Structure 1
């Protein structure tokens, strides 16, 4: 197996890894706290039934009427620099009746924005009048992906 020799162009992308990953992790935590706040309001709580438990590590436990899920924050390097990808997973039983986690959806955060479904063409805008609507859309997307139980 051949490996590439890396140079300054590649090194420049990771020189500030600690600060950039901490910034993404804080944005990810704020994102999930805002989604949780929407889910805890009266109508979504009674109608959607989504509960989020946010861990110190940024990972999130998810309870839904369709079963358990989780959101695991995975840090990596993307074309816009350091990025965090929330892998939305649903708990399922395999053929041996053992619990396993199936990836069903993703949310990507990087220095340029937030992208549901990891689609570079669907950047969500925050900081305006529609913020609660955007968080509700993300909550419903998570619920739908867990309900379907397969990668979307």
Structure 2
């Protein structure tokens, strides 16, 4: 692995790290709490069978008819600026009967947008419009089912 000197533009990105990452963490928690609440509705519980629960260690446990998963949040810097990524992982039992976590999908928060992984395909999630929440829930279930 090769390590090089970072450009002034790259280093500039971390100048507001506390403010920017704090804002992203709060927005991520708000959206995840909205997803948890939506998953608790009768329709989702009875028809899709998804249950999401926040864990004290910053993880989210995910239960679906297709198996269990978890979400874990990672803060990072990208060319677009700071981002928070909720990695969705599926629990898989290996040959030694141990649980392994396999990445299956990601939800990325950058700027004011919420995106599918590292794509530029955004979900309508924000202060006034949460139309994208059902699509995110279905995406989580599908990703775990497909894995």
Does the CA-based 8 Å contact 1:25-1:58 persist in structure 2?
no
Residues 1:3 and 1:127: Cα distance change in structure 2 (over 3 Å): closer
Compute the TM-score of the two structures, normalised by the length of structure 1: 0.87
Deviates more, 1:5-14 or 1:108-117: 5-14
Does the CA-based 8 Å contact 2:36-2:51 persist in structure 1?
yes
Match of 1:146 in 2: 144
- State the SS of the aligned residue for 1:20: helix
Distance 1:70 1:14 in 2: 28
Cα shift at 1:42: 1.3
Match of 2:24 in 1: 24
Match of 2:70 in 1: 70
Query: Is 1:124 matched with 2:123?
Result: yes
Distance 2:122 2:105 in 1: 16
What are the residue-to-residue correspondences of 1:81-100 with 2, within 5 Å? 81-100=81-100
Compute the TM-score of the two structures, normalised by the length of structure 2: 0.90
Distance 1:57 1:21 in 2: 18
Cα shift at 1:37: 1.4
Match of 1:102 in 2: 102
Distance 1:128 1:75 in 2: 22
What are the residue-to-residue correspondences of 1:2-41 with 2, within 5 Å? 2-41=2-41
In structure 1, the gaps of 5 or more residues are: none
